[in-house]
A and B are shown apart, each in its own frame.
Chain A
Amino acid sequence: MSDVRLAVRGLLRSPGFTVVAVLAIALGIGANTAVFTIVDSVLLRPLPFPEPERLYALAVVRDDPFRGINDTVMPDFLYVYFRKQDRLFEKLTAYNSHRINMTGAGDARSVSGAFATADFFSVLGANAALGRTFAPDEDQPGHDGVVVIGDNLWRSAFGADPAAIGKSVRLDGESHTIIGVMPIGFAFPAPLDVWVPQGVHPSGHNSQLLSVMGRIKPGVSQNQATAELDTIIKQIPGELDVRHRPPARVVSLLESVSGKVQRSLLVFLGAVAFVLLIACTNVANLLLARSAGRRQEIAVRAALGASRWRLIRHLLTESTLVSLAGGAAGLILAVWGVPALVKLAPAEMLPRAEQIGIDGWVLAFTFAIALVTGLGFGIIPALQATRSELRESLSLGGRSLTGRHERLRGALVVAEIALSLVLLTGAGLMLKSFIRLRSVDTGFRAEHLITMTVELPDSTYQTASQVQAFHGRTLEKLSHLPGVMASAEVNWLPFGSGLMMGDFRLEGGRKFPPGLMVDKPIVSPGYFRTMGIRLLRGRDFTANDNGDALLVAVVSDSAAKRIWPGADPIGKRFTEEEENPKPKDWVTVVGVVQDVKQMGMADKPRETVYQTSAQINRPGWLNHAAFVVRTATDPEGLATAMRGVVRDIDRNQPVQSIATMQTLIDASTAEPRFQTRLLGAFSLLALLLAAVGTYGVLAYSVAQRTHEIGIRMALGAERRDVLRLVLRRTLMLAGAGVLIGAAGALAITRVLQKFLFEVKPDDPATFVAVAALLAGVALAAGWIPAWRATRVDPVEALRYE
């Protein structure tokens, strides 16, 4: 206790040292606590369901962060087949998230919802807070007119009235009775407004990708389940696209929810650990300088009988107090920082965002790292300060010991620079990758484009002609809005939320490339012109390409090359009909357009076959539509008027979303932008700490060497010689730090490979640029002490040796 009292008194006597040290540690621990809070909440905490370890996602994993689809999903027919054969799961369920139009509870609104099979809630073991969840047969046609709603919607649309149970709402035009309200915090697969029962009924060429999860029987292992899924996929009859026969994967539901961000979060955790290490070396340096100044005191204590252990304990108490105070301040920083980080993260990046918060584990983590940190940065200075020869140096002045301290401080600066270099290289690679990503040609001109997405319910708009009439009227009205230069419609927009894919039958027995799935957007005439997509050959769709005319298509450049390699695609024909197509079923290619990025900037050129909406008679292909409008002025100003157009045509029809094309593109790169910004912020913090550390060591070193500099000046050293003396040391420290750091970066930046676009983890330009930056910063940090050294007055320096 007396150690603590003495340590507190000692720290209060040096407020400058204490504040700087506590601040450095607070920044390090604050960043660590904030990131750990997210890691704990997202990756480590079990899902809030009974026996969560028995919940698994069954998947065909498409593991590519730059493509839109990167969830654990499987095609609908595979789910149905597997469900019939499976023996190892107690229950299985398939689900999909969508925006859904809701009417009948105040204004028409677009709500977030999931269509799920009846077992959805029973697999999770989740019960309603009010009412009930789905009954086993409620996903069958005729019984599926029910809905379970989320707590948020219950409060916002029904004023938290228990009488909401039993009320009817129209979802996408169909009547559904509210049967239950989920408890606060129920957020699976996300914080949704509604859960609608829907069975899985696969059909034809165009399969739907579903999320599938199940509760495994007790005693069954993950490996057994994987083996079973693998075997069953291989047994599936018929000729299947190779892409639908990937190795099966059964992953824990927690991993399927959070696996996508696992690597990102671990990279951030690594980055903040580096920041903490740098902060620690800074404080260790401060402590070394402080202990050098306390040599006399330590020597006196030793002379009065203090054992070395007692002296070390005294010094360690001080460093631990600093780190605990830093930990407490860091915790406060984290309390502020966590919500800011979550807010800064793109909406879809962080799963379980609603569960993120500081809990007992986080507090324990913070306390533990504060304790370890305190001992870590305190031990070397404590050992140094209590070396026996030092204690014996009461009368010697102990100048010869400066060298050893100097070397240790130098080593700490080298470590700081090396650690910063690793972080900065990571950030540099991410930045370069991000710049490359942003400079990719999308294939269209995004400026002055605004988009409006509308999902027409098939209960109200039952036929293709009804949908086409709505679209026609909307386009007509949009074209008359002031400032509109062009407008068009497409069912699934580039950088939108989805797309349709499939294959075709080619004319003349020609084989469609095996494994190829082409994008199948449906567009209105004028779409290419509105979007600024270049027509390379042939012609665009016209108003004459209607239901009575010859069916026509425009294909993308890569589709033309892949489907008809070496041949002119114009005039070539294909059909959607598998068996006995009639003459009118054949579609003729009339034009070729340039490739467009559909799902993201990093998307490879996609084979796309465009058809025109007037020639499509399946309403399900047209219900989802995006209207694209090119404006002469700022496109955002048009949003209200565009909403008004839809309201004028159908008062019950909500607009799903309105966004400029640029916003959609920005959103598609939000994740790499967030990663780059966060890593950049941590690196800058590291750079700042390293600069302060380098400055501190050199300033201290110059102060210690004032006498030597005085001698050198008396012996003929000019100012530039003195400048060189100090800067040479700076350069040596920086050089050693850069070399060690570069070696470390080469090994460590490999973990970033997955996040990098067209940049290799060992990109020489980035390494050189970062090394130069760091050396420059170190030189700048060393310049002030060096300049101060040139101002040393030799007479004074020699007088007060």
Chain B
Amino acid sequence: MEPLIRLINIEKYYEAGYGKTFVLRRITLDIKEGEFVTIMGPSGAGKSTLLSILGMLDGAWTGEFYFVEQPVHRLNNKQRVELNKKYIGFVFQSYHLIDNLTVYENLDIPLSYRNIKSSERAGMVGDILDRFHIVGKKDLYPNQLSGGQQQLVAVARAVIANPRLILADEPTGNLHSTQGKEIMELFKRLNDEGTTIIQVTHSETNAKYGHRIIDLADGWLVNPQKTA
């Protein structure tokens, strides 16, 4: 069976004066459907950049990238956005909820970009509010929630469109340990239900929720097969 993600010699660099500054060097790796992978490494190692490439947010790289058997490197921006919409959900360190929208409206955003009828969308938002036990918070604005609650909404938003892949960039970075644990438990449950998860983290504890760890250093892949 083909892996969900296949990267071959992915490189990313910036033009800097007379030369190039590399952010990622010759990244080659496979990630199978249903895996829970942790990307680790010191600051500036290229973790978030790799996550952006995997999430189709960053299109300026070289190499080959296959996602659900599609050659992403040959797709145009519009086709990449389509892949993102169809298969990927994002969770960020600083939640990135939209301040002037309520919890309900924040959850509705990904659906609004996916040609889903509004009645159907209402049902999906209702389900997810229920599933994450945040029905009581639906009319609140992000600044009326605690950090943990905000991240809970962010995870709910990431999964609302039933993605096959969740990309999480330091999802517990702004949370205290109890809240962080709850979020990681949640990821674990989602992974057990079949969702592939790739997280970037500095936390060894969080890394243990995953199946394997990918170490990055100065843009290079250090140990692609290390288990968590």
Contacts and interface: CB of A to CB of B under 8 A. Distances in A.
Chain B binds chain A: yes
Interface of A: 399-400, 402-403, 406, 707-708, 710-718, 721, 794-795, 798-799, 801
A711 B143 contact: no
B151 to A, nearest CB: 14
B60 to A, nearest CB: 9
Given A715-B113, A716-B81, A801-B94, A795 B99 contact: no
B113 A721 contact: yes
A715 B111 CA distance: 9
A714 B55 contact: yes
Contacts of B92: 714, 798
B96 A711 contact: yes
A713 B56 CA distance: 10
A795 B81 contact: no
B76 to A, nearest CB: 12
B140 interface: no
B8 interface: no
Contacts of B143: 399-400
Contact of B58 (A403, A710, A717, A795): A795
23 contacts: A400-B99, A400-B100, A400-B141, A400-B143, A403-B99, A403-B100, A710-B96, A711-B97, A712-B98, A712-B113, A714-B55, A714-B84, A714-B90, A714-B96, A716-B81, A716-B110, A716-B113, A717-B113, A718-B78, A718-B81, A718-B113, A721-B113, A801-B94
Contacts of A707: 96
Contacts of A801: 94, 96
Given A711-B98, A712-B98, 8 more contacts: A399-B99, A399-B143, A400-B143, A402-B100, A711-B96, A714-B92, A716-B113, A799-B48
Given A714-B90, A715-B90, A715-B157, A798 B96 contact: yes
User: At the interface, is chain A mostly helix, strand, loop or mixed?
Assistant: helix
Interface string B48-59: 110010010110
A565 to B, nearest CB: 71
B114 interface: yes
B100 A716 contact: no
Interface string B94-118: 1011111000000001100110000
The 10 A-B residue pairs with the shortest CB-CB distance in the complex, in nearest-first order: A716-B85, A716-B113, A403-B100, A715-B110, A711-B96, A794-B57, A795-B52, A400-B143, A399-B99, A708-B98
Interface residues of B, number: 26
B109 A795 contact: no
A795 B52 CA distance: 7
Given A402-B99, A801-B94, A795 B57 contact: yes
B109 A712 contact: yes
A799 B44 CA distance: 13
Given A400-B143, A795-B57, A795-B58, A716 B98 contact: no
B57 A715 contact: no
Interface of B: 48-49, 52, 55, 57-58, 78, 81, 84-85, 90, 92, 94, 96-100, 109-110, 113-114, 141, 143, 157, 161
Contacts of A716: 81, 84-85, 110, 113-114, 161
A794 B56 CA distance: 10
A399 B97 CA distance: 12
Nearest to B110: A715
Contacts of B141: 400
Q: Which has the most chain A C-beta neighbours within 10 Å: B85, B96, B114?
A: B96
A513 B157 CA distance: 88
Nearest to B160: A715
A710 B49 CA distance: 15
A708 B142 CA distance: 13
A604 B5 CA distance: 85
Contacts of B161: 716
Q: Which has the most chain B C-beta neighbours within 10 Å: A399, A717, A721?
A: A717
Nearest to B94: A801
B103 to A, nearest CB: 14
Contacts of B98: 708, 711-712
Nearest to A721: B113
A134 to B, nearest CB: 80
Nearest to A406: B100
A716 B112 CA distance: 9
B95 to A, nearest CB: 10
A801 B98 CA distance: 12
B85 A714 contact: no
Contacts of B97: 711
B198 to A, nearest CB: 15
A322 to B, nearest CB: 30
A546 B62 CA distance: 104
Q: Which has the most chain B C-beta neighbours within 10 Å: A399, A713, A714, A799?
A: A714
Contacts of A798: 57, 92, 96
